[in-house]
Amino acid sequence: MSARDKELKAMRNNSKNVRFDTMKDLNYYLKLKYPFILEKDNDGSYFIEYPDLPGCMTCGSTIEEALRMGEDAKRSWIASAISDNDFIPEPKIAEDYPDNFKLRLPKTLYKQLSVNANAEGVSMNQYCLYLLANGVKTKNAPV
C-alpha cells in the first residue's frame, strides 16, 4: 500500500461516525476531473483505475466500455462514501506535487551524466530531465 493510500485510509477511518454539515453532494464530486489510468490487459480487455479513489477500478472489453464502466464505478464509489459518511478525496492536481527531489548517484554514474550533458551542450539538470521524460512509461500516467 502506497503512502498516499495509507493517508487516505487513515483519513477515511478517522472520519467514521462524524457527520459533515458541509458534505458535498454526488453531483459536486462527479463534476470534478478525477484522473484515471487506462491499461490494456494481456487478454485484450481494458482496465481502468482512479488513483485518487482507493479501490475504484473496473474493466471492459473495449476502451469505450472500460470508460463507461469507469464512470459507473466512480459514481458508485462516491455514492457509497457519501452514504457511509466517509472521507472523499478531491482530485490531486499538478500543483499538489513538488517540482524537485534529491537523488543520490554513484560517482561513476554522475561522471557519465556530466560528460554526456557537456557533450550535448546542456546543463546536467536539463540532460537528466530529458532522460527521465523519455524513459518514463506514459502508459501508467493518469489521463
Average confidence score pLDDT of the chain: 82
- Banded model confidence at residue 7, pLDDT cuts 50, 70, 90: low
Condensed to tens digits (0 to 9), the pLDDT of residues 44-87 reads 999 999 999 999 999 999 999 999 999 999 999 999 999 998 99
Residue 80 contacts residue 26 (beta carbons within 8 Å): no
Average pLDDT (110-126) is 90
Q: How far apart, in whole angstroms, are the C-alpha atoms of residue 67 and residue 73?
A: 10
Partnered with residue 46 across adjacent β-strands are: 40, 60
* Cα–Cα distance for residue pair 110/118, rounded to 1 Å: 12
HSE-CB for 37 with a 13 A CA cutoff: 16
Element (H, E) at 57: strand 57-60
Distance CA 85, CA 11 (A): 12
pLDDT, position 6: 61
To the question of pTM greater than 0.85 for the whole model, the response is no
